[in-house]
Amino acid sequence: MELRNIGPNQSEVKIGNKTVLFSHSIPVAANVGGKYYRTQNFYSRTINSHINKWIKGCAEQKPQLWFHQLVK
């Protein structure tokens, strides 16, 4: 597992072929095998901005629980 700070209140955790974006300590987006996913939850404009900047385009939406399970 590799942790990288990518900006204020933003971190990436790399676990095998998965990279998970954390915004304000919440896992909110992921890249799994080259495909991007984002949470269905809306937390704030700031977190939404972090997600949009990180995914660089379209992403499939997943329930928040899916992201928590990715990092278990």
Query: pLDDT digit string (tens) for 17-55?
Result: 999 999 999 999 999 999 999 999 999 999 999 999 999
pLDDT of residue 35: 96
Q: Are the C-beta atoms of residues 66 and 51 closer than 8 Å to each other? A: no
pLDDT of residue 5: 97
Distance CA 58, CA 68 (A): 21
The number of distinct structural domains making up the chain is 1
**Quick check: helix, strand or coil at residue 33?**
coil
Q: Domain residues for 48? A: 2-70
pLDDT of residue 56: 84
Distance CA 5, CA 58 (A): 23
pLDDT of residue 57: 86
pTM of the model: 0.94
